[in-house]
Amino acid sequence: MTHYRSFVALGDSFTEGLNDPAADDRGGAPDRFRGWADRVAERLAALDPEFRYANLAVRGKLIDQIVAEQVPLAVGMRPDLVSFCAGGNDLLRPGSDPDRMAKKLAGAVRDLRATGAEVLLFTGVDPRDTPIMRRARGTFAIFYLHVRSIADLYGCRLVDQWSMQGLRDWRAWSDDRLHMNEEGHRMVAAKVCDVLGVPTEDDWRMSWPPRERVDPRVKRREDVQWVRSHLGPWVVRRLRGRSSGDDLDPKRPDLKPFG
């Protein structure tokens, strides 16, 4: 089993942990997020009392922002392990260029690997079942093929979410249909532990029990409510050039003991 004494997580909302609520230490209110990276850090901390962890991910960040703002901080921290997952927010925007994005990612991975850190990369989930993303499925696939190539070229570990069939079930996702819920993050954490060779009791290969057939009228009402509550505000932010992460700081900006 590989031993990691420090871990820095880079990225956007996926790595920040939306929408996997964690109870606030003072009163149990779900006003902060746990997510797959915190779950993996919990496992690593259980194996080493001196383990340290930082999570620099901020929701809404584009790959250029992550490379410019988060990667230099991670290089300076010189951890044993760095996770880098980005690109989803870029690929949702018209005119995104997966080839240019891949070059940006490759440069960042090269800098991170030069510190001696193990680097963990991710493909995304197959977007064919996702209302917003499925029209750009080919663009997503091109970028994720680049990610696989970069992982091979620089000797990185790869978490292939595209092959995780359990994540294609809506029960792994929150109401906004863009972010995983607690179960989704739990599955991803189990997959990451598997890739890293870290023991865990969870199994990412889980299968969901059969689901009852949904009345088409109920499904239409749910779709309308989703457009009003989630798609509409998302489009408005894009038109205004705003991001859900504007003015937000990372939840764990310093490499410190986990707790």
Q: Which stretches of the chain are DSSP H helices? A: 13-16, 35-47, 63-65, 71-77, 88-91, 98-113, 137-154, 182-196, 216-226, 232-239
Rounded CA-CA distance 176/7 in Å is 29
Q: Among the listed ranges 15-24, 178-187, 211-220, 247-256, which one has the minimum average pLDDT value?
A: 211-220
pTM of the complete model: 0.89
pLDDT (0 to 100) of residue 28: 41
Half-sphere exposure of 208 (CA within 13 A, CB side): 16
- Tokens representing 121 are 């990369």
The pLDDT tens digits of the residues spanning 102-132 come to 999 999 999 999 999 999 999 999 988 776 6
State the pLDDT at residue 95: 86
Encode pLDDT of 168-193 as tens digits. Answer: 988 998 888 789 999 999 999 999 99
Query: What is the distance between the alpha carbons of residues 77 and 115, in angstroms, rounded to a whole number?
Result: 9
Cα–Cα distance measured from residue 43 to residue 39, given in angstroms and rounded to the nearest whole number: 7
